Amino acid sequence: MTVAAIVPAAGRGERLGLGRPKALAVVGGQTLVARAVDGLIEGGVDVVVVAAPPGDEDAVREALDHRRATVVTGADDRVGSVAAALDMLPATTEVVVVHDAARCLCPPAVVRAVVEAVRSGHRAVVPATAVADTLKRTGPGGQVTATVDRSGLAAVQTPQGFAAATLRAAHEQARVRRGAGEPVAATDDAGLAEDIGVTVVTVPGDPRAFKVTTPLDLAMAEALVTAGPA
Ligand code: C5P
């Protein structure tokens, strides 16, 4: 059984403000995308396809060096970038994990747990952590309109794992809806699976799988790498 990984790495990283794609930001001497791929391979993935920002494919290939990964051209948004990579997976793929390059310090144990849960029969699996902050709903002027009960909420990370046929069906529906001019609001692949009626289950996430978005996140990642394995 082939376990494949898709790494959406085609974001421009504007919130990071480095003037280059976020996936090519460096933490402890290694790019985010190279670290993400290393974590996936250590977690037991056989095949990796990375979606690179259009025009930066060669830079991503160079960053990946000798690693066992194929680079494809990404798209304007994350859904499109994942779909482009999905087209490149070998036909023998049975399990697919989709993992943001930006979550470059995710421990391989989380990858293994997600793959294992898919292998055991779940069609869609996400790593989840408890929400620490109090959550409020706000109105247009920023005023609080409600306090949200956080007891039934989870913060969801990647890698998200799927039976290959499920991920293909979820993206196919998203493509058809977009083609018909309908908005597709899902911000992750599990959301697309939910949209076609698939039950998504959770496994424990890990705080080290946080997403590098801002300069503070990059500083945190650097500090974690410097501190060594926790
Ligand atoms: O922008 P954000 O941090 O939410 O992006 C999450 C992941 O999706 C990142 O790894 C980013 O590179 C990827 N992405 C992509 N194609 C886009 C936008 C984002 O592959 N057009």
User: To which H or E segment does residue 117 belong?
Assistant: helix 108-119
Cα separation, 202 vs 190, in Å, equals 11
Cα separation, 106 vs 109, in Å, equals 8
Structure tokens at 66: 């000798």
Kindly report the average pLDDT of the chain as a whole number.
96
Q: What is the CATH number of domain 2-227?
A: 3.90.550.10
pLDDT higher than threshold 80 for residue 67: yes
Distance 88 CA to ligand 1 centre (A): 18
Please name which of 4, 56, 2 lies closest in space to residue 33, comparing C-alpha atoms.
56
pLDDT for position 170 = 98
ipTM: 0.96
Structure tokens at 180: 């018909």
pLDDT for position 226 = 95
Cα separation, 109 vs 63, in Å, equals 24
pLDDT higher than threshold 90 for residue 109: yes
Distance 84 CA to ligand 1 centre (A): 13
Question: pTM (2 decimals)?
Answer: 0.96
- Ligand 1, pocket-test mutation among 7, 24, 78, 81, most atoms within 8 A of CB: 78
Distance 51 CA to ligand 1 centre (A): 9
Cα separation, 68 vs 41, in Å, equals 8
- List Cα–Cα distances, 87 to 70, 72, 81, 83, 173, in angstroms: 12, 10, 10, 6, 15
pLDDT higher than threshold 80 for residue 230: no
pLDDT for position 15 = 87
pLDDT digits (tens, 9 = 90+) for 26-41: 999 999 999 999 999 9
pLDDT for position 23 = 96
Distance 52 CA to ligand 1 centre (A): 10
